[in-house]
Amino acid sequence: MGALKFMSSLQKKVRETNTPVERGLMYVDTWINQKPTKSTMVDSGATQNFITEAEAKRLNLHWEKDAGRMRAVNSAALPIIGLVKRMMIRLGGWSGLVDFVVVKMDDFDVVLEMEFLLEHQVIPMPLAKCLVITGSTPSVVQIDLRQPDGLKMISAMQLKKGLSRDEPTFIAIPLNSSENSGETVPKEIMHVLEKYRDVIPDSLPKSLPPRRMIDHEVELVPEAKPPTKNAYRMAPPELVEL
């Protein structure tokens, strides 16, 4: 009975001292090839370590060409530019050799993934804001929790709960964008566009046509059978004209 009262008092204290947990991604200060990187994220969601082509060039890294491809979640497969093998990196007072895959990324410059965590026996501890390295040279490296580009994000579950509580919710929709997407039109498609330039309008309509008084619909008769009629064939002169 006394143990139950003790556990109840502990649970009550935990509820009273409940503080919001800091959320974000794990970033660590990293030196690669004796130069500091711009932003290095620690993530366990992939198997290999990644570095952008621009960051690899800035750090004067040399890589071997590779013909493979990588694919992130909900995105198209991207070609792998090259492989950087056994590069010396430094995290705080720890240093070791790491392999990198050179790819094109937009959000991060360097990403340390499961390959790094397993090879050097690294234990991420977000609550303590540190990485515990238990390999041949044990060390504790301080990390920083923050959102990419200073943005604050919420989960889909948090949004759903906010809507159920009638909390103020806003939605932003971009009307237009002046940025160049950088996409190139294939030569085959460009040839077709040039060939039928006379039938393509110079500008597309900006709005939908006005609604008609009678909406188009196809009436379906229950248990109706299709008509037994030969397929319509166009007369030869009409076919030539078409």
Query: Predicted confidence band at 89 (pLDDT cuts at 50, 70, 90)?
Result: very high
Question: Average per-residue pLDDT in the chain?
Answer: 79
Domain containing 110 — which CATH number? 2.40.70.10
Please check the confidence at residue 181 and state whether its pLDDT lies above 80: no
Q: Quote the CA–CA distance of 48 and 116 in Å, as a whole number.
A: 8
Q: Quote the CA–CA distance of 138 and 15 in Å, as a whole number.
A: 36
Q: Quote the CA–CA distance of 136 and 175 in Å, as a whole number.
A: 55
> What is the number of domains present in the chain?
1
Percent of the chain surpassing pLDDT 70: 80
- Mean pLDDT for 213-236 is 78
CA distances from 59 to 35, 42, 62, 130 (A): 7, 19, 9, 25
Residue 98, judged by CB atoms within 10 A of its CB (0-12, 13-18, 19+), counts as buried
Decide if 163 is inside a domain. no
- Mean pLDDT for 140-160 is 77
Decide if 99 is inside a domain. yes
Please check the confidence at residue 73 and state whether its pLDDT lies above 50: no
Query: Predicted confidence band at 214 (pLDDT cuts at 50, 70, 90)?
Result: confident
- Domain holding 126, by residue range, is 25-150
Point out the least confidently predicted range of 86-100, 117-131, 141-155, 169-183.
169-183
Q: CB neighbours of 70 closer than 8 A, spacing ≥ 6?
A: 77, 78, 80, 101, 103
Confirm whether pTM is higher than 0.75: no
Decide if 65 is inside a domain. yes
Decide if 115 is inside a domain. yes
Decide if 31 is inside a domain. yes
Please check the confidence at residue 133 and state whether its pLDDT lies above 50: yes
Tokens of 196: 């039928």
- Mean pLDDT for 182-201 is 81
Percent of the chain surpassing pLDDT 90: 18
